[in-house]
């Protein structure tokens, strides 16, 4: 019989930039209103990094907190994964930049791009790499400077997103919440539903791509909304079924923080009351790959989870991608 040794979260940390922008402030430069944003999304304010801060700087703040929380020295880290769609630059990876800023040893570093599902994908990948025995302590980060790809002339997207970062130190050795189940999926049949069209090999940067604003995030909000609700429901059910668990076994669900109406629809479809969902999107907006670790960190700080509790993390994003993770506290 194979006895599974679970990967543990030794420590967690998060960072929200200090510059807070309220809906009211946004409505002074964008054709929108606090009432529209509040009622359609639940977002009240978001945080934006400064001009001097890149994604790796946000990641650095979160990573330092996670290392301190774990009581792990930078020298002990032998694997760095950064989930992001807003890397410092196309290459080299933000994980490599972070390695240097943190003063880590010359250990394996790479970025993982699964949009809003990125942090949960990265937990799955790190778990497998730790299971190989060739890595002992992984630093997994979800970090985004969404403000760097937002089109301030597109009110349908620019009011939704925010900047931030969250990080976790993982190991098979030591104490902490256990990662007991993973599920990842994707459907690449319609990438234009949510994308940044220009700047890659399909549409390299040119004066035409700049003037047509194709370097900014584009989204078909209504279609993404419908898919998000449907796919997050099935993702939760699939993972729990694989582990012979019921929704009633779960103490807290931490969903991707995009829109409170998505969370409410998920709550109805799963028949799980809203007080079992942890949300902080009202203060951060949608921070893509940072959203789940920002919320998980906050739930841990607020002691919303006790020993033995099962927590279900569920994400959905561009790709389309989706992922869910079960954490036993
Ligand atoms: O992180 C990846 C996952 N992303 C998501 O999960 C986002 C999913 N989508 C959504 O959250 C919602 O679809 C939105 C919040 C983006 C939009 O909400 P909606 O209820 O689907 O609005 P809509 O797109 O149907 O637009 C309704 C109206 C439109 O006006 P008309 O055509 O009815 O006259 C829009 O032009 O609201 C208008 N509108 C706005 N009005 C004021 C769109 N954006 C704004 C705005 N302020 N910012």
Question: From the candidates 23, 259, 280, 286, which is the catalytic residue?
Answer: 286
**Is there a catalytic annotation at residue 256?**
yes
> Are both 148 and 15 inside the same structural domain?
yes
Q: Whose CA is closest to 124, among 41, 59, 194, 181?
A: 181
Look at residue 64 and give its three-state secondary structure: helix
> How many angstroms separate the CA atoms of 97 and 100, rounded?
5
Residue 139 φ/ψ, nearest 5 degrees = -110, 115
Long-range residue pairs from 209-218, CB within 8 A, at least 24 positions apart, any chain: 213/151, 213/153, 213/154, 215/149, 216/149, 216/150, 216/151, 216/154, 216/157, 217/146, 217/149, 217/150, 217/151, 217/157, 217/161, 218/151, 218/154, 218/157, 218/192, 218/194
Q: What is the pLDDT of residue 259?
A: 98
Q: 143, 176, 209: which is the final residue of a domain?
A: 176
Q: What is the pLDDT of residue 284?
A: 98
> Are both 149 and 260 inside the same structural domain?
no
Place of tokens 């668990």: 245
113 in a structural domain: yes
Count the domains in the chain.
2
Q: What is the pLDDT of residue 2?
A: 47
Q: What is the pLDDT of residue 316?
A: 98
Q: What is the pLDDT of residue 152?
A: 96
> Are both 47 and 70 inside the same structural domain?
yes
Residue closest via CA to ligand 1's atom 28 equals 156
1 in a structural domain: no
Q: Which of 156, 229, 281, 287 to mutate to test the pocket of ligand 1 (most atoms within 8 A of CB)?
A: 156
Domain membership of residue 260 as a residue range: 180-328
**Is there a catalytic annotation at residue 286?**
yes
pTM above 0.95, yes or no: yes
Q: What is the pLDDT of residue 216?
A: 98
Q: What is the pLDDT of residue 236?
A: 98
Pocket lined around ligand 1, Cβ cut-off 6 Å: 32, 36, 40-41, 116, 155-156, 159-160, 221-222, 224-225, 228, 258-259, 262, 286, 317
Q: Which residues share a beta bridge with 183? A: 324
Q: What is the pLDDT along the chain (329 residues), one digit of tens a residue?
A: 445 699 999 999 999 999 999 999 999 999 999 999 999 999 999 999 999 999 999 999 999 999 999 999 999 999 999 999 999 999 999 999 999 999 999 999 999 999 999 999 999 999 999 999 999 999 999 999 999 999 999 999 999 999 999 999 999 999 999 999 999 999 999 999 999 999 999 999 999 999 999 999 999 999 999 999 999 999 999 999 999 999 999 999 999 999 999 999 999 999 999 999 999 999 999 999 999 999 999 999 999 999 999 999 999 999 999 999 999 99
Q: What is the number of the ligand 1 atom nearest to the C-alpha of 286? A: 1
CA–centroid distance, residue 170 to ligand 1 (Å): 38
Instruction: Check if the beta carbon of residue 249 is closer than 8 Å to that of residue 267.
Output: no
Residue closest via CA to ligand 1's atom 38 equals 156
What is the pairing mode between strands 79-83 and 108-112? parallel
CATH number, domain at 43? 3.40.47.10
Q: What is the pLDDT of residue 1?
A: 45
Q: Which of 118, 146, 221 to mutate to test the pocket of ligand 1 (most atoms within 8 A of CB)?
A: 221
């Amino acid at each position: 019989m194979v006895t599974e040794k679970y990967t543990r979260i030794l420590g967690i940390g998060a960072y929200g930039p200090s510059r807070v922008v309220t809906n009211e402030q946004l409505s002074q430069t964008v054709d929108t209103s606090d009432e529209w944003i509040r009622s359609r999304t639940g977002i009240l304010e978001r945080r934006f990094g400064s001009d001097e801060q890149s994604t790796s700087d946000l990641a650095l703040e979160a990573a330092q907190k996670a290392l301190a929380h774990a009581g792990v020295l930078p020298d002990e880290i032998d694997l760095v994964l950064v989930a992001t769609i807003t890397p410092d630059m196309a290459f080299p990876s933000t994980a490599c930049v972070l390695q240097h800023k943190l003063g880590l040893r010359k250990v394996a570093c790479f970025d993982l791009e699964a949009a809003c599902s990125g942090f949960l994908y990265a937990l799955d990948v790190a778990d497998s790499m730790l299971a190989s025995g060739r890595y002992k302590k992984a630093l997994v980060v979800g970090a985004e400077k969404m403000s760097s790809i937002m089109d301030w002339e597109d009110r349908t997207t620019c009011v939704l997103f925010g900047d931030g970062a969250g990080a976790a130190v993982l190991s098979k050795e030591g104490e902490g919440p256990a990662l007991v189940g993973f599920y990842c999926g994707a459907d690449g049949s319609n990438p234009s539903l949510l994308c940044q069209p220009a700047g890659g090999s399909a549409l390299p940067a040119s004066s035409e791509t700049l003037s047509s604003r194709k370097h900014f995030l584009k989204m078909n909000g209504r279609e993404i909304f419908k898919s998000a609700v449907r796919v997050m429901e099935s993702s939760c059910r699939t993972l729990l079924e694989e582990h012979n668990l019921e929704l009633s076994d779960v103490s807290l669900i931490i969903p991707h923080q995009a829109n409170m109406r998505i969370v409410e629809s998920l709550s109805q479809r799963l028949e799980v009351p809203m007080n079992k969902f942890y949300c902080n999107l009202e203060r951060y907006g949608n921070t893509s790959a940072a959203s789940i670790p920002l919320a998980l960190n906050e739930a841990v700080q607020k002691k919303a989870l006790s020993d033995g509790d099962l927590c279900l993390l569920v994400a959905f994003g561009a790709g389309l991608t989706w992922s869910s993770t079960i954490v036993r506290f």
